[in-house]
Structure 1
Amino acid sequence: MYPKTRQLILNYLREGVYPGVSYAFIKDGLSEQATYGYAQLEPSRPLTSETLFDMASLTKVIATNSLILQLIESGYLKLDRPLQTYLPQFKDPIVTIRQLLTHTSAINAYIHNRDALNQEELKTALMSLQSSSDIGQKVAYTDTGTLLLGFLLEEIYDQPLHQLFQERVLEPLHMVESTFTPRGQNIAATEDHPTRGLICGQVHDPKAFVLGEHCGSAGLFSTIGDSLIFAQMILAGGQTLTGEPFLQDATVDSLFADWTLGKLKRSLGWDIKETKNDHRPLLFHTGYTGTFMILDKEQQEAFVFLSNRVHPIDKKVDYLKKRDHILELYLQEKAQASSNLL
């Protein structure tokens, strides 16, 4: 499957864009996956197919977004009601659930002296953030919206988020290798941080590190196999591997639409890419540590990519260019494969 994309992934591995990578394709009812490189460079530890990766912002769509979508399905949450309706501690009375999910809330996310705050202080500061006059007018991707939605979930269920995610997401989906408390040696290392040292087995994201079990924007560690389980659930219209409903098929289908009132091409929690040949919408999301997935329910295809590209040094600008090259080539090969079927 996708030989040019596979070769480019290997080329970038050899160039040192990322020390290790696990990736997988789903196509024509089959899955193909591969793992190369290192979980840690010094001392060297090779990756395996069971290596846990810091999923970073893929936590948003796998965990937080899934539970929010279930609450929307049940009728408990209304998209255009203010968050404050459900979470009275949040100070801004205007920002809606839809705006948080589509990153159109225009919340000024700046928090003075953020890195010096403890867990409770950081949560209080996040609850005090205010939107601006641009609300609903443009997309500004941020983790703030998902952090607030995580606090909302804790308010509703009266449980710490990580316990919620374990019981209501990982266990129903049978993602048995995934965890928020990784143990052992088979974990991909991330950044060699100036104050935290080599990060391995702890979440890389600084706000998630402080918020701990109360963070909905990052913190999940998963394998390529478990990541495919989640992707297959979306392709199956919300059904788990055992055929049980996790999300409604109509909910999954609705994700492939633009949910911004100004046609800004954002879904509920997801970004939207398009196919090259017929411009059909595809679900797409990335994670800062070097992860992404792109999903095509109509053609039953997926591409999941996990790397530890921030290890040992974060070279964000170079990586983003190379990541976009991988995505572009994949979409080109996907379009070519589709045209060959016509």
Structure 2
Amino acid sequence: MKRLDEIFDEAIKNGTFPGGVLLVGDHEKVIFEKAYGTLSKDSKERVSNDTIYDLASMTKVVATTPAIMKLIEDGNLRLYDPVSLFLDEFKTEEKREIRIFHLLTHTSGLPSYSEGWKYAKGKDLMKVINSTIPINPVGAKYLYSCLNFITLMEVVEKISGRRFDEFTKSEIFIPLGMVYTAFKPPKKWKMAPTSEREGRILCGDVDDELAYYLGGVSGNAGLFSNVSDLYNYAKMYLNHGMHGDQKIFSKETIDAFTCEAFNDDQNRRALGWDMKGLVCSCGDLMTEYAFGHTGFTGTSIWIDPQIDITVILLTNRVNISRRENQEKIIRFRPLLHNYIVANRRFLGE
């Protein structure tokens, strides 16, 4: 569609991102899929539909949240288990009331991030993260925190006895046919580069500092994927947990994790997922049942079961700037979603 091309051309021209891939689909089929622009600001190589992007915080809902869902379905975990059952660092007076539910809804009281990456790496960095003291009372306030999902990763590893990347690959990605979704992806994959760190442009190494210095595998960031794999994932939600004739999750689990779990009149959250709100990256035309998530690198996924649609946007806007164009992508996303929802019946023409 001409207008959709214009929307992307304008964004590329004004420095929102160098390129990206858009996929729109429903519970049965892809409605629209197209690549735009170049792999990086300094490259003339065009983006293709199968280009792989750093998902950043989309990792929270494509890897960590379904890992928790799987543990719950298998009878190994419940939402109101205290984290202290699994991690000794949460047995302190300040943290002993934090439950799995609080981590998933960002109401644990933990701060949004840690500067520990500046002086610690690997296991030492994890010790710094685990020693972080809450800054709000448990359950009292919403504060989006990467630390919540790093902790959830630890819970998954503790219960399963497996590395997080191995667990998510075998339990989520392989069953869904997500063959180009991985932590620490193979260098031979065609990937869009992100920002500069330690004197080199990152390409296949995670952009997020905590995930990077934890070794590339984390519950808050670190996952790489393309739109086709992510459509398999999103379509599973639109089909009530089914992938073809295979059950990935029960309908009951899907419903429990995608309904409103927290609302303070400014923020609506499901379990792991963001939900349609007044100021929302999914725009103004999706319904109150819509759930989704964004990533710092310029990615997003939204699913609205009420109107049977998913919109997946992958870009590497941080390749242009980590901070200066952040407001541009924040404005771009809702404008794009408004156009798509209003014109979905014409997208295939």
Among 247, 254, 257, the alignment partner of 1:255 is 257
- Match of residue 97, structure 2, among 46, 69, 94: 94
Partner secondary structure for residue 35 of structure 2? strand
Q: Secondary structure at the match of 1:76?
A: coil
1:101 is displaced (CA, Å) by 0.1
Partner of 1:183: 187
Instruction: Decide which of 312, 317, 338 is 1:309's aligned counterpart.
Output: 317
Distance in 2 between residues matched to 1:221 and 1:140, nearest whole Å:
25
Structure 1 position 307, deviation (Å): 0.2
Task: After TM superposition, give the deviation of residue 118 of structure 1 in Å.
Answer: 1.7
Compute the TM-score of the two structures, normalised by the length of structure 2.
0.87
- Structure 2: distance between partners of 1:211 and 1:104: 24
Match of 1:192 in 2: 196
Give the deviation of 1:149 after TM superposition: 0.3
Q: Give matches, 1:1-342, under 5 Å.
A: 4=3, 7-27=6-26, 29-31=28-30, 32-91=32-91, 92-108=95-111, 111=114, 113-180=116-183, 181-184=185-188, 186-193=190-197, 195-212=198-215, 214-240=217-243, 242-260=244-262, 264-273=267-276, 276=284, 279-316=287-324, 318-331=325-338, 334=341
Which blocks of at least 5 consecutive residues in structure 2 are unaligned?
278-282
For the structure 1 residues 78 and 262, does the alpha-carbon distance in structure 2 shift closer, same or farther, using more than 3 Å as the test?
farther
Instruction: Give deviations 1:164-189, integer Å, cap 9, x for gaps.
Output: 12111111111012222232261100
Tell me if the contact between 2:298 and 2:329 (Cα under 8 Å) persists in the aligned partners.
no
Residue identity in the other structure for 1:331: N
Q: Please give the alpha-carbon distance, in whole angstroms, between the structure 2 residues aligned to 1:233 and 1:278.
A: 19
Query: Is the contact between residue 22 and residue 312 of structure 2 (CA under 8 Å) also seen in structure 1?
Result: yes
Deviates more, 1:91-100 or 1:259-268: 259-268
Could you report, residue by residue, the CA deviation over 1:84-132 in whole angstroms, capped at 9, with x for unpaired residues? 1122343421211111000011113564653120201111111112223
CA contact (8 A) 1:150 1:216 kept: yes
Paired residues, number? 334
CA distance in 1, matches of 2:326, 2:210: 22
Q: Does 276-285 or 29-38 show the bigger shift?
A: 276-285
Contact 2:57/2:221 (<8 A) preserved: yes
1:191-232 residue CA offsets vs partner (Å, 9 max, x unmatched): 123x24211111111111111254111111111111111111
Structure 2 counterpart of 1:293, one-letter code: I
Q: What CA distance in whole angstroms lies between the structure 1 residues aligned with 2:113 and 2:216?
A: 22
Shift of 1:29: 4.1
Percent of paired sites with the same residue = 27
- 5+ residue gaps, structure 1, are none
